[in-house]
Structures are given as structure tokens and as C-alpha cells.
Amino acid sequence: MKKTIINIALVAITSIMPLTNLFAQELKDIILPAPSKTGGKPLMDALNARSSSREFSSKELTQQELSDLLWAADGINRPESGKRTAPSAMNWQDMDIYVVLPSGIFLYMPKENILKLKKAGNYMKNAGKQDFVENAALNLVFVSDLSKMKDAKKEDKILYAGIHAGAVTQNVYLYCASAGLNTVTRRSIDIEKLSSIMELSSDQVIVLAQTVGYKP
């Protein structure tokens, strides 16, 4: 019983721990706490508060906040079917969310609810061309895997990718409005360089990026 209580306490502490504390010894995949699917502002209040801001504190999000943010963005809300909080045509689920932190680049895995380490190192400044990008808590990069749109015409794939990214970024906006965070979606990126850093395939296309963080 005593051991169980200690384990529960450790999980609770980890969920509120700043992200860099988890990398003090070894950089690896991050197992996120279960997202909180209740609370926050009512929908109409969140819509009323939704806005873009280019001013950010460097204060880090906790693991719980990051888990909630990513679930809101494009997490699984119907476990029986694996369907997401953001829609996609034909349920292609082509959109992947990469999380750029000062410690590395991670891929959000919604089924496992983990951040899979893709590349260690600080690539924050490569996530966008504006100065605030490097100093915020994190940057999200929305990548469409066009190979998942099996029957679509080439020109339609890009259109669908943009529509899907738009749905995801709006989810992020609403979460941030509800949680009191600042955010802005961006296309001002050196796409070729960032794709190379992320080691994306020819079918993986960076559509948008979005900066998230506390208000200064």
C-alpha cells in the first residue's frame, strides 16, 4: 500500500513538472499523463477570447498542459474508432503534430499518448523566422503525410492538407483561449531547411507551424 501511494504521488508530481526537468539525465520519449477532458471556459467564452498573439514568456508548460493541448489539437476522442478531435476527409488522419522544444523535436503519438523523440537538440529558431519563435515555450509543426490520401488527385492533396491543418490549428487556438495561453499560427518558415532537419520523406509536407506559450 505504501509503495502504491508513493507511485501515485510521483505521477502527480511529474504531471506538473516543467518539461526541461525531465531531461536532466537522459533525453528520451515522454510518456504524457492522461489528458483532462473536462473544465476550461465554456465554448462561447473561448471563441470570444480566441486571438493571435506574438508575445510570449519563456516559461515552460507542464506535462499535463502539454497533454491537454495536444489532445485538444488532434487527439483521440472516440477510442472505439480511433477518430480525432479534428476532422479529416475520408478519415485519412494524415496530419502529424511535431512538438519543437528547447531539448529536441518530438512526434505526438495520440494512440499511445506519448511524445516520441525524433531529434535531440535545440531547433527552436528553425521552427520559424520571427524572433519570438525561439524564445517561446514550444512550437507545433503540422505535417501532412500525403501518402495517406490514397485516392486523391495530387492537386487535391495539398488542398485537403491545408483544410486539415486549419481544423487542428483552430483547436489549438480554442484550447489556448480556454487555458489563458498565447498562440499564433504561422507559415513564415524555411520549409526546406526544417524538413531536412526533421528528416521528412517526400510525402511529408510541412503545412503550418504554431507557437504556444504563456503570456509575458
pLDDT digits (tens, 9 = 90+) for 95-140: 999 999 999 999 999 999 999 999 999 999 999 999 999 999 999 9
77 burial (CB, 10 Å; 0-12 / 13-18 / 19+) is middle
2-213 under CATH 3.40.1450.10, yes or no: no
Closest alpha carbon to 121 in 22, 197, 47, 11: 197
Measuring CA to CA, how many Å separate 154 from each of 106, 147, 149, 195, 203?
28, 10, 9, 20, 11
Number of residues written out for the chain? 216
pLDDT, position 54: 97
DSSP string, 145-178: EGGG-TTS-HHHHHHHHHHHHHHHHHHHHHHHHH
Question: Is the Cβ–Cβ distance between 65 and 138 less than 8 Å?
Answer: no
Task: Show pLDDT as tens, one digit a residue, over the chain (216 residues).
Answer: 544 444 444 445 455 655 554 444 468 999 999 999 999 999 999 999 999 999 999 999 999 999 999 999 999 999 999 999 999 999 999 999 999 999 999 999 999 999 999 999 999 999 999 999 999 999 999 999 999 999 899 999 999 999 999 999 999 999 999 999 999 999 999 999 999 999 999 999 999 999 999 999
pLDDT at 9: 45
Cell of 130: 520571427
End-to-end Cα distance, the chain: 43
**Which H or E run includes 126?**
none
What pLDDT score does 27 carry? 82
Report domain extents, the chain: 2-213
